[in-house]
């Protein structure tokens, strides 16, 4: 890890309980580099104005910057069309947009099935359950193996001509598994089902090429990709976004309003009611550009190196259980110690300056699959170091000794 990268993250330079902060909760949210912080500061100190409707100079400047951000993001993702990039507040928002508008569209009936996987985050479970409640459709779930991978043995019974939509993540936030989305997307296409990919955990760690992935919807959150909170992206195919009805009503998403009838704006504005997170969109484009300049391969190689070191180091600890042992993983290491509660472990580690996440990671059904209430999870980003992996291992060892 070169020091220059670390120095771009001012928040990391602090002491916790008299020890250097070791931030290993990157799968929950990642820290922001100076390039992004500076973009946000400059937006508010040089540009800030509301967009699209203003005739004045600053409004034009803000509109240009906002739309330029959309262009940058579309190119970064290799989206077929720029107007397919919808600014949202995050992954959860994007999934709810698709689930709600599908329910409103009347295209989902009680004969239809929706397929998700046992590795999903609550935000890729609950909106589909709500859709099923509203439409009478059935929710099916791809089971998970002991190593934390999709069990595709019975996929041909689960993914049939009744399946209307498949919604799965590319990388699991709880276990780090990189899922074979290509296989499932291909099968879905063969059955005429739509596909939504939850890219919340993949976008921070790998290059995303929407045309190669060939799904119908893709969602992710800015705050996990070195950008601020409160901004995210929904990409959807034009034909589908045009077919689906509007979602939230308000300013910006309309063409003409009378009390009798409203006509709606074209994409992407049809789905961008109200004043958006203007600064967030611009900062997200800056964050993706920063990642691209650094190199997605460089980011992945460094994180994989740390993941390997940490996995090896923790494996030596007596009575440790690693959750998620798939051969293809990204950045996440979930574990437990027999007879020790994950919360107690995390609390003691925090006292040693090591910040990890404990609990169900918004994946309660997955925890039930493993018969546990939660795990302790360390997750790595480009700025983490080998010394921090050592600190993690030492902290787990010390905490375990104290708790048993
Ligand atoms: C974080 C996360 C989400 C939810 O993202 P929000 O930013 O909270 O909307 C969904 N899916 C996965 C895999 C995640 O990691």
SS3 per-residue string spanning the chain: CCHHHHCCCHHHCCEECCEECEECECCCCCCCCHHHHHHHHHHHHHHCCCCCCCCCHHHHHHHHHHHHHHHHHHHHCCCCCHHHEEEECCHHHHHHHHHHHHHHHCCCCCCCEEEEECCCCHHHCHHHHHHHHHHCCEEEEECECCCCCECCCCHHHHCCCCEEEEEEECECCCCCEECCHHHHHHHHHHCCCEEEEECCCCCCCCCCCHHHHCCCEEEEEHHHCCCCCCCEEEEECHHHHHHCCCCCCCCCCEEEECCCCEEECCCCHHHCCCCCCHHHHHHHHHHHHHHHHHCHHHHHHHHHHHHHHHHHHHHCCCCEEEECCCCCECCEEEEEECCCCHHHHHHHHHHCCEECEEECCCCHHHHHHCCCCCEEEEECCCCCCHHHHHHHHHHHHHHHHHHC
Does the pLDDT of residue 2 top 90, yes or no? no
Mutational pocket test of ligand 1: of 229, 362, 366, 377, the residue with most ligand atoms within 8 Å of the beta carbon: 362
Question: How far, in Å, is the centroid of ligand 1 from the Cα of 52?
Answer: 30
Question: How far, in Å, is the centroid of ligand 1 from the Cα of 48?
Answer: 28
Question: How far, in Å, is the centroid of ligand 1 from the Cα of 123?
Answer: 7
Does the pLDDT of residue 1 top 70, yes or no? no
Enter the pTM of the model.
0.98
| Cβ of 8 less than 6 Å from ligand 1 | no
| Cβ of 198 less than 6 Å from ligand 1 | yes
The residue ranges of every structural domain in the chain are: 3-31+295-403, 37-293
Asked if CATH classification 3.20.20.70 holds for the domain at 3-31+295-403, the reply, yes or no, is no
| pLDDT (tens digit per residue) in 213-254 | 999 999 999 999 999 999 999 999 999 999 999 999 999 999
Question: How far, in Å, is the centroid of ligand 1 from the Cα of 242?
Answer: 26
- What's the pLDDT at 105? 97
Fold of 37-293: 3.40.640
| pLDDT (tens digit per residue) in 87-134 | 999 999 999 999 999 999 999 999 999 999 999 999 999 999 999 999
| Cβ of 377 less than 6 Å from ligand 1 | no
| pLDDT (tens digit per residue) in 268-302 | 999 999 999 999 999 999 999 999 999 999 999 99
Query: In the structure, what pLDDT confidence band is assigned to residue 17 with cuts at 50, 70 and 90?
Result: confident
Task: Tell me if residue 362 is catalytic.
Answer: yes
């Amino acid at each position: 890890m070169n020091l220059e990268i670390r120095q771009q993250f001012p928040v990391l330079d602090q002491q916790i309980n008299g020890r250097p902060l070791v931030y290993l909760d990157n799968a929950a949210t990642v820290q922001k580099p100076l390039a992004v912080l500076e973009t946000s500061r400059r937006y508010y100190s040089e540009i800030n104005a509301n967009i699209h409707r203003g005739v004045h100079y600053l409004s034009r400047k803000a509109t240009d910057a906002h739309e330029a951000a959309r262009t940058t993001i579309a190119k970064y993702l290799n989206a077929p069309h720029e107007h397919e990039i919808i600014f949202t507040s995050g992954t959860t928002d994007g999934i709810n947009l698709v689930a709600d508008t599908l329910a409103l569209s009347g295209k989902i009936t009680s004969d239809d099935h929706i397929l998700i996987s046992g590795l999903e985050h609550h935000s890729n479970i609950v909106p589909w359950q709500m859709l099923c409640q509203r439409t009478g459709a059935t929710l099916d779930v791809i089971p998970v193996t002991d190593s934390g991978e999709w069990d595709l043995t019975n996929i041909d019974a689960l993914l049939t001509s009744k399946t209307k939509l498949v919604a799965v993540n590319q990388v699991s936030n709880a276990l780090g598994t990189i899922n074979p989305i290509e296989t499932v997307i291909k099968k879905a296409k063969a059955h005429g089902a739509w596909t939504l990919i939850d890219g919340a955990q993949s976008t921070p760690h790998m290059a995303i090429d929407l045309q190669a992935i060939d799904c119908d919807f893709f969602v992710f959150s800015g705050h996990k990709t070195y950008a601020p909170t409160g901004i995210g992206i929904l990409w959807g195919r034009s034909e589908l976004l045009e077919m689906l009805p509007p979602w939230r009503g308000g300013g910006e998403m309309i063409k003409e309003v009378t009390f009798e009838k409203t006509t709606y704006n074209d994409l992407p504005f049809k789905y961008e009611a109200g004043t958006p997170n203007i600064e967030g969109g611009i900062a997200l484009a800056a964050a993706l550009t920063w990642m691209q300049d650094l190199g997605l391969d460089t980011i992945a190689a460094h994180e994989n190196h740390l993941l390997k070191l940490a996995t090896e180091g923790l494996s030596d600890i007596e009575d440790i259980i690693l959750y998620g042992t798939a051969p293809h993983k990204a950045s996440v290491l979930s574990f437990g110690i027999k007879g020790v509660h994950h919360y107690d472990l995390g609390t003691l580690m925090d006292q040693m300056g090591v910040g990890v996440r404990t609990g169900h990671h918004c994946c309660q059904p997955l925890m039930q699959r493993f018969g546990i209430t939660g795990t302790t999870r360390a997750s790595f980003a480009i700025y983490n170091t080998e010394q921090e992996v050592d600190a993690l291992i030492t902290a787990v060892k010390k905490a375990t000794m104290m708790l048993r």
